[in-house]
Copies of this chain bind each other. A is one copy, B any other.
Amino acid sequence: EEAAPPPADTEDPFAGDPPRHPALRVNSQKPFNAEPPPELLTQSFLTPNELFFTRNHLPVPSVEPGSYRLLVEVPGGRSLSLSLAELRRRFPKHEVTATLQCAGNRRSEMSRVRPVKGLSWDIGAISTARWGGARLRDVLLAAGLGDKSGEWHVCFEGLDKDASGTRYGASIPLERAMSPQAEVILAYEMNGQELPRDHGFPLRVVVPGVVGARSVKWLRSVAVSPAESPSHWQQNDYKGFCPSVDWDSVDFRAAPAIQELPVQSAITEPRPGAAVPAGELTVKGYAWSGGGREVIRVDVSLDGGRTWREAELCPRPERGRAWAWALWELRAPVAAGARLELVCKAVDRSYNGQPEGVGGIWNLRGVLSNAWHRVPVTVTR
């Protein structure tokens, strides 16, 4: 048995990473992890590609599109190998507007209660795009997938790998992959453009309503399996635990892999600590929930949660499942000299809401951070 060779000192595996927009706030350079500033986040319903939050686990692979092949494997030994041209030609293009959110969004607030392991995301590890590609369902049927009963999963593997050759991987339940309503696609377009390198060029999975970690980028293979992906990120990460669980007691087998995310919202304007002018204050933010559950209401408080007002939701551009966020706004008169604690919380179609504080949802990995978002501001005289 030979150990994997250590990376050559002389060579930076991230040297081939693409250039990035200077406005992004970088949480980690290698691998690259960055979020847009909050006030840019809610400037448009669709996040511009160059500002879309980037969550890379590994170096960005360099893919030569002409020789790229996607491998699709279904039970019974059947498989399919598809070029990009074949993928575009053989399957109708399906478009879906979907928000992706990192499981670690708003982790920095959780760390303030007690330290957690992970990148210190502020509120910007969430973005929205219009994605275009082939339905995963159509591709699996073309590969010869028959009716399946019992528990099955669709495992995705990326072309991105570490120095030992281990690739990023994740899976979703087959039922979601095959549901026409779930709109899971293999995307080659993002907001009408070719997929950028940081977002999975030439092909990525987009699983609407589900944690971003399952929307595998730089997609290498798709395999239907009786078990979830064996990858670290499916088995030993991206799971939630009781606040009492620490790194000595954690048993990753005891919790299910995160798929659908809970209801979330945050205030993007004003920023914490801001001094705002007296008169009419405009509070802006986003709200979103997993599983296509539409945000039906956002409540905003100016007094730390004692009293509430209903924010105005920007009209939804589409009917049906709400895969995309709701942007919202509240205008309220504020008096000179006041110190306000702005708070927002959202309610989704299942009438689930957000927890008041971090204490009950704290977990050692700092995921699923969706407590009421609090922004203290002062009103200038």
Residue numbers of A with Cβ under 8 A of B are: 151, 240, 242-245, 255-256, 258-263, 290-291, 296-297, 299, 305-310, 319, 345, 347, 349-357, 359-361, 368, 372
Chain A interface secondary structure, helix, strand, loop or mixed?
loop
Cβ of A372: which chain B residues have Cβ within 8 Å of it? 360
* Chain B residue contacts of A368, Cβ below 8 A: 351
Does the CB pair B351–A308 fall under 8 Å?
no
Task: Give the distance to chain B from A146, nearest Cβ to Cβ, in Å.
Answer: 18
Would A305 and B261 be within 8 Å (CB), given that A242-B297, A296-B255 are in contact? no
In contact, A308 and B243 (Cβ under 8 angstroms) = yes
The reply to whether B349 and A260 contact each other, CB–CB distance below 8 Å, is yes
Of B243, B290, B291, B353, the contact of A355 (CB 8 Å cutoff): B353
Q: Which residue of B lies closest to A245 (CB)?
A: B310
- Interface pair B242/A360, CB less than 8 Å apart: no
| A347 proximity list for chain B (CB < 8 A) | 240
Q: Which of B245, B291, B349, B360 contacts A353 (CB 8 A)?
A: B360
Q: List 11 A-B contacts (CB under 8 A).
A: A240-B297, A243-B308, A244-B308, A244-B309, A245-B310, A255-B297, A260-B351, A261-B351, A291-B291, A305-B360, A345-B360
Pairs A-B, 3 closest by C-beta atoms: A260-B350, A262-B352, A356-B356
A290 to B349, CA, bound (A): 11
**CA–CA, A16 and B305, complex, Å:** 49
A209: min CB distance to chain B, Å: 9
A356 contacts across to B, CB distance below 8 A: 355-357, 359-360
A317 CA / B242 CA spacing, docked (Å): 24
Given contacts A262-B353, A353-B360, A356-B357, 4 further A-B contacts (CB under 8 A): A240-B351, A244-B310, A255-B296, A260-B351
Whether the Cβ atoms of B350 and A291 lie closer than 8 Å is yes
Residue of B nearest to A175 (CB): B181
Please give, as numbers and ranges, the residues of chain B lying within 8 Å of A296 by CB-CB distance.
255-256
Q: Determine whether the beta carbon of B352 is less than 8 Å from that of A309.
A: no
Residues of B within 8 A of A305 (CB): 359-360
Q: How far is the CA of A115 from the CA of B106 in the complex (A)?
A: 35
A347 to B256, CA, bound (A): 11
**Is A310's CB under 8 angstroms from B350's CB?**
no
CA distance A359 to B305 in the complex (A): 8
Chain B nearest CB from A260 CB (Å) reads 4
